[in-house]
Amino acid sequence: MGANSTKKLNEKKFQILNVIGKGSFGTVYLVKQKGTKKYFAMKVLEKKRILEKNQVKHLQAERNVHKQLNNPFIASLVCSFQNESQLFMVIEFVNGGEIYYHLDREQVFSQSRVKLYAAEIILALEHIHSKKIVYRDLKPENILLDSEGHIRLIDFGLSKILHDGEDGKAKTLCGTPEYLAPEILTGEEQHYAVDFWSLGVIMFEMLHGMPPFYSDNSNDMYIKILTEDLKISDSLDQSTRYVLQGLLDRNPATRLGLDKKGKLNIKKHPFFRGIDWDKVYHKQYIPEFIPKVNNTTDLSQIDPKFTLEKIDNLEPKEAIETDAFKGFSFINEEYISQKPKKKRKGGIRLRACTRVSDDDDDEKGKDTDSDEKEKEK
């Protein structure tokens, strides 16, 4: 890619089709790249609001983190660019809906369904952590489903790249209250273990219909996260109870996820017995739930509170004179190029796909190093 590619890229290259999401600092639209049949999600942010809310550092961190990530279970950053008043981030679009939306409608998921979601999230976290990044915002709203029912993580605004020096440490109190690890609340230095706590909360919520320490009052919830006993349903099998207890261990040093040497140990937990991690990575397990979508632009699985909103006027507003967003532009040629995307050699879908189930013990679990496979592609 060259400098000319990013200079030519702007919002006029995309046709705005629909609102598909809203956040504190901007709106997300379904867009079509003009002259192609490619559809993306485009996040539009106002520079003025980002500056007023002192979010420049977070926004630049989101862009810097996201462009490093390349994993089957993470929605890829396609490109980012800006005009005189707005910032744009174009992301891979999937239309199976948020886990939050489906969980709100169904209340609870089966153990086998949760098992596959958890396995795919673990491979996404493994990749994120391999880049020395702590995610810090794992929650149902940030887990999307594609049209085949596989997950994609989004939103890296709270992620932190860890490195030597004081500014390379993660100590900020940030995240969504229900999913905060105890060490975040107590102001301790944060490492990869905070993401495994959040995974435990999400798995618990999928199986019980409610986060483990939930309260309508945030302060009460923080106290519960720090002190209340974990109450797990007796209807769950032993390995499921054990994996929840391991992930929701208040001591990050002994929490399930990574061993003392920093190597992933959760893949070998009895809860994942029978899982072939190579098959997970290549999406060769058939998800229990497959969203009912008719085509690439079917928005029926996305919350109507977003899709029924009117499209805002996206014409540039008051010009903002600042160097705060210097270097924001980025382009992933693999996605944005008008040339068809190259197919992986040999294909990654096998004819014999297997559904993940709680009694799937006929295959030995494999501790596959997914990131090594990714490097080989």
Q: What are the pLDDT digits (tens) for 52-100?
A: 999 898 898 899 999 999 999 999 999 999 999 999 999 999 999 999 9
Domain count for the chain, please give it: 2
| 137 annotated active-site | yes
- Span 132-157, pLDDT tens digits: 999 999 999 999 999 999 999 999 98
Q: How far apart, in whole angstroms, are the C-alpha atoms of residue 142 and residue 117?
A: 13
Interval 95-113 mean pLDDT: 96
Q: Are 253 and 246 in contact (CB under 8 A)?
A: no
* Co-location of 105 and 237 in the same domain: yes
pLDDT in tens, 259-279: 887 889 999 999 999 999 999
Q: Which residue has tokens 């109190």?
A: 173
The reply to whether 231 and 111 lie within a common domain is: yes
7 among annotated binding-site residues: no
CATH number at residue 200: 1.10.510.10
Burial of 215 by CB count in 10 Å (0-12 exposed, 13-18 middle, 19+ buried)? middle
* Two structure tokens written together for 37: 């049949």
Residue labelled with tokens 């944005």: 336
Rounded to the nearest integer, the mean pLDDT of the chain is 86
Point out the catalytic residue in the list 104, 137, 155, 359. Answer: 137
pTM of the model: 0.86
Residue 345 resides in a domain: no
Structural domain including 304 reads 3-94+298-336
Q: List beta partners, residue 39.
A: 32
Confidence of residue 170 (pLDDT cuts 50, 70, 90): low
If we measure between CA atoms, which residue out of 263, 281, 274 comes closest to residue 365?
Answer: 274
| 291 lies in some domain | no
